[in-house]
Amino acid sequence: MSGYKRVLLKLSGEALMGDDAYGINRATIEAMVQDIAEVVNSGVQLAMVIGGGNIFRGVAGGAVGMDRATADYMGMLATVMNSLALGDAMKNAGLNPRVMSAIAIDQVVESYVRPKALQYLEEGKSVIFAGGTGNPFFTTDTAAALRAAEIGAEVMLKATKVDGIYTADPAKDPTAERYARISFDDAIAQRLQVMDATAFALCREQKMPIRVFSIFKPGALMRVVQGEDEGTDVFV
């Protein structure tokens, strides 16, 4: 398989925590950016969506009993915080990121406008999409699937702590085997939790392949965008 030219990388907020209980671990984010820089400097057009679970976890106790829409808006703000942190780390690594938010915070980041995002990608800049979809009740997985479709990404990369999709939980079952490739239909039939149902359905409808891999495995991101046998390929 030849390499990809334009991809969308979905990161969980928890990926930024390192060994911390919540928040952002600077060493972890800097190590992650090293792999991102390698990909961007190779000429791949890279867009990203990051969750907010690591930030929201710190205030989760106070959110108990809160209206769902209000809690989701708080989560969107958490994704903006993570996007700013990631963008800052990328800038320090010599990259030229642009953070665009689905919710208007013009004094902090520019608002998401699709033609502008496409222009940035064509110019070789990386784009970090913050604020989810801008609507409550939708996850950042769904935001990632939506943005991937909007920018014409060739693949959606789902970065996790595990290096792919397994027949069982590899942490609990040492005999579990990694799928190199699996179809959307088989993933649904086997009830494999690739991502939330709305995001998964959108990717399937748009014939958007998903590659699940470990962001903590050095060099894995580059191997994925080069089309090598890394992680699990979910195809239509």
* DSSP string of 175-227, one letter each residue: T--B-SEEEHHHHHHTT--SS-HHHHHHHHHTT--EEEEETTSTTHHHHHHTT
Which segments are annotated as binding site for UMP? Answer: 52, 72, 133-140
Residue 39 belongs to a domain? yes
How would residue 218 be classed by pLDDT, with cut points 50, 70 and 90?
A: very high
Which segments are annotated as binding site for ATP? Answer: 10-13, 53, 57, 160, 166, 169
1 pLDDT above the threshold of 60: no
What is the predicted pLDDT for the residue at 66? Answer: 85
The amino acid occupying position 87 is: G
2-11, 64-73, 109-118, 147-156: least confident range: 64-73
Residue 57 belongs to a domain? yes
109-123, 132-146, 190-204: least confident range: 190-204
What is the predicted pLDDT for the residue at 144? Answer: 98
What is the predicted pLDDT for the residue at 26? Answer: 94
Structure tokens at 234: 């979910």
Which segments are annotated as binding site? Answer: 10-13, 52-53, 57, 72, 133-140, 160, 166, 169
How would residue 139 be classed by pLDDT, with cut points 50, 70 and 90?
A: very high
- Please name which of 106, 50, 97 lies closest in space to residue 78, comparing C-alpha atoms: 50
What is the predicted pLDDT for the residue at 2? Answer: 64
Rounded to an integer, the average pLDDT of 225-233 is: 94
The amino acid occupying position 85 is: A
What is the predicted pLDDT for the residue at 171? Answer: 87
Question: What is the pTM for the complete model shown?
Answer: 0.94
Residue 197 belongs to a domain? yes
- Please name which of 60, 53, 57, 52 lies closest in space to residue 80, comparing C-alpha atoms: 52
Instruction: Return the CATH number at 47.
Output: 3.40.1160.10
Instruction: Determine the Cα–Cα distance for residues 146 and 141; give it in Å rounded to an integer.
Output: 9
**CB-based contact 231:177 (threshold 8 Å):** no
Residue 138 belongs to a domain? yes
What DSSP line would sit under 17-32, residue for residue?
-TTSSSS--HHHHHHH
In terms of residue numbers, what domain contains 136?
Answer: 6-235
Instruction: Determine the Cα–Cα distance for residues 92 and 82; give it in Å rounded to an integer.
Output: 15
% of residues, the chain, pLDDT over 70: 96
Give the distance from CA 235 to its chain's centroid.
Answer: 18
Residue 1 belongs to a domain? no
For residue 156, the surrounding DSSP H or E stretch is strand 155-160
How would residue 64 be classed by pLDDT, with cut points 50, 70 and 90?
A: low
- Please name which of 44, 51, 92 lies closest in space to residue 222, comparing C-alpha atoms: 44
**CB-based contact 95:126 (threshold 8 Å):** yes
Our count of domains for the chain comes to: 1
197 pLDDT above the threshold of 60: yes
